[in-house]
Structure 1
Amino acid sequence: MAEQNEHGLAFGIDVGGSGIKGAPVDLATGEFAADRRRIPTPHKSTPEAVADVLAELVDGFDLPDDAPIGVAFPAPLDHGVVRFIANLHKSWKGVDLPALVQEATGRKAVAVNDADAAGVGEQRYGAAKGHDGVVLVATLGTGIGSALLVDGILVPNTELGHLEIDGHDAEHRAAESARDRDDLSWEKWAKRLQRYFETVEMLLSPDLIVVGGGVSKHHEKYLPLLDLRAEIIPAELRNRAGIVGAASMAARPH
């Protein structure tokens, strides 16, 4: 387990299909220690091209020499190795991401699935802070991202948005993109969310469910319509969660 550096800082990076964002994070508070910077994702998003952007991001900040890097990445990772990729260049398959980042930046690095990074951020600094037991963090957006934590320990790469429910891939029916695509009222979308979360609840018996993604800012329109055993609450870190969670895991992986 990595020790927290003497400055209490780590650098978090959130890699997306359209933009790569990064900021130094104060590990005591989970707040950004400087304004976040965004660089467009290269059109040909090969590992080499993205590594150059990561190095440019890191070099744009005056960081302590011992500040590690955490990368939130849009793919399942097997101990840092990319298993497959949907949103970036196909040549990512099989890449050891921490090794790539360390070579590009000269700093120690960890890499984690982006939904998992957001979940860790919410558990350590956000809505789930102080909650033991089984915590599910679900991000509702184009798809449904999931992070499962048990007594603060991440169970990685759960991909619970791809559960088959009633003959459908769950996120095809219940993601925020489905609400937009099918022009659903909040009430009709809530019925789909109810079916999704009650299925997850039957399988995993979470003690707490945290709902993130951009639509979480409208949580009062749909969360009160859900009837679940577990408490279900909105995320707090919003679009900071991936950066904060990845930075936190760079300093304290477990």
Structure 2
Amino acid sequence: MNVFGLDVGGSGIKGAAVDTETGELVTERVRIKTPQPATPRAIVDTAVEVVRRSGWDGPVGCGFPAVIKDGVVRTAANIDKAAIGFDLAGALGQELGGPVTVVNDGDAAGLAEMRWGAGRGVRGLVLMLTLGTGIGTSLFIGGRLVPNTEFGHIEIGGEDAEYRASDGARKREDLSWEEYAARLDRYLHAIEDLLWPDLIVIGGGISKKSEKYLPHLTTRTEIVTAKMLNEAGISGAALAAVPDQPTEKAAE
């Protein structure tokens, strides 16, 4: 089954049609800069343009950086606060004239990693962290998603964790890799004590530089880097639109 996957990010909105059996993109990826200001209406218009440029007419899955309940945006940590309460799935569906499923972007990336990437076949408790401007999280037990976890916002040292341990924090404060690893390590230990996961998967652009910080981490949990990389958000968003629970095959 082919589904169009949309990945809404802070700098760009990108998408492509995806073969949801293999996770491969079956059309060329289209990317348009995220509008500024990124109002809900502007995001819808840009996302629709991405789909139309691809010539797609069919089901669409969309990953969005917020808690999503029944297609409605419920939080706005790193997006325009006007998005709270906005029926994104309904607005996109009306414009595109077809079914649209919207999920948290961290959950979308996690779905892709569990089905085709680093979490494939792991039946225990798996936590994926997407380290970018903030910290996106997705949690799986027995291959099944626990949606809308927000572990990037736990308090570390009196501050929001993503303010201290995201890749955005590393860049903003010009931290050395050793300094950043110490921040990330403290966060990971707090997460371990809360969840006792069997595996932690680290994704986001920073996963490409894992040799810079992984050797400095002291967690008891096995940590691996994501395999899907830039395609995770698109492929996972498409997978979220498939009616059945998509990661069961990975957990068999």
- Is the TM-score greater than 0.5? yes
The alpha carbon displacement at 1:181 in A equals 3.0
CA gap 1:146/1:154 in 2 versus in 1, 3 angstroms: same
Counterparts of 2:244 and 2:89, CA distance in 1: 13
CA gap 1:202/1:101 in 2 versus in 1, 3 angstroms: same
Superposed structure 1 runs of 4+ greater than 6 Å apart:
none
Counterparts of 2:41 and 2:170, CA distance in 1: 36
The alpha carbon displacement at 1:253 in A equals 5.5
1:34 to 27, 33, 39: 27
Counterparts of 2:236 and 2:4, CA distance in 1: 10
Q: Secondary structure at the match of 2:207?
A: helix
Q: Deviations over 1:88-108 (max 9, x none)?
A: 444322122222121111121
* Alignment partner of 1:244 is 2:242: no
Structure 2 residues not aligned, in runs of 5+: 246-252
Q: Which moved more, 1:72-81 or 1:84-93?
A: 84-93
Counterparts of 1:44 and 1:181, CA distance in 2: 21
Q: Deviations over 1:68-125 (max 9, x none)?
A: 1100011111221111324444432212222212111112111001111111111111
- Amino acid corresponding to residue 125 of structure 1 in structure 2: W
How many residues get paired?
245
Aligned match of 2:249: none
Counterparts of 1:120 and 1:160, CA distance in 2: 17
The alpha carbon displacement at 1:62 in A equals 4.0
Aligned match of 1:51: 44
- 1:135-174 matches, cutoff 5 A: 135-174=126-165
- Amino acid corresponding to residue 42 of structure 2 in structure 1: A
Aligned match of 1:15: 8
Structure 1 residues not aligned, in runs of 5+: 1-7
CA gap 1:47/1:168 in 2 versus in 1, 3 angstroms: closer
Q: Deviations over 1:157-181 (max 9, x none)?
A: 2111111123222122211222223
Question: Percent of aligned pairs with the same residue?
Answer: 53
Aligned match of 1:106: 97
Aligned match of 2:216: 225
Aligned match of 2:181: 190
